[in-house]
Amino acid sequence: MDENEVIQRCQNSDLSAYKMIYDRYKQPLLSTALRMLGQQQDAEDAVQMTFLKLYRGIQNYNYSAKFSSYLFRILINVCFDLGRKKNRRSRMSARLFETEKGSVRSSHEEKVLLEEAIQALPERQRACFILYAVEELKQEEIAEVLGISLGGVKSNIYHAKLRLRAALMNFRFQESP
pTM of the prediction? 0.67
Between CA 65 and CA 137 the distance in angstroms is: 14
Q: Which of 68, 86, 104 is the last residue of a domain?
A: 86
Terminal Cα-to-Cα distance of the chain (whole angstroms): 60
Higher pLDDT, 92 or 35: 35
Is 168 found in the same domain as 101? yes
Query: Looking at residue 95, what is its pLDDT?
Result: 41
- Residue 74: is its pLDDT beyond 60? yes
At residue 87, the pLDDT reads: 55
Round to whole Å and give the CA distance between 128 and 98: 26
Alpha carbons 97 and 110: distance in angstroms, whole number: 9
Do 30 and 80 reside in the same domain of the chain? yes
Number of domains, the chain:
2
| Domain's final residue, options 86, 121, 154 | 86
The CA distance from 139 to 128, in Å, is 8
Burial (Cβ within 10 Å: 0-12, 13-18, ≥19) of residue 139: middle
43-70 mean pLDDT = 91
Final residue belonging to a domain, choices 37, 60, 86 = 86
Question: Taking all residues of the chain, what is their mean pLDDT, rounded to a whole number?
Answer: 83
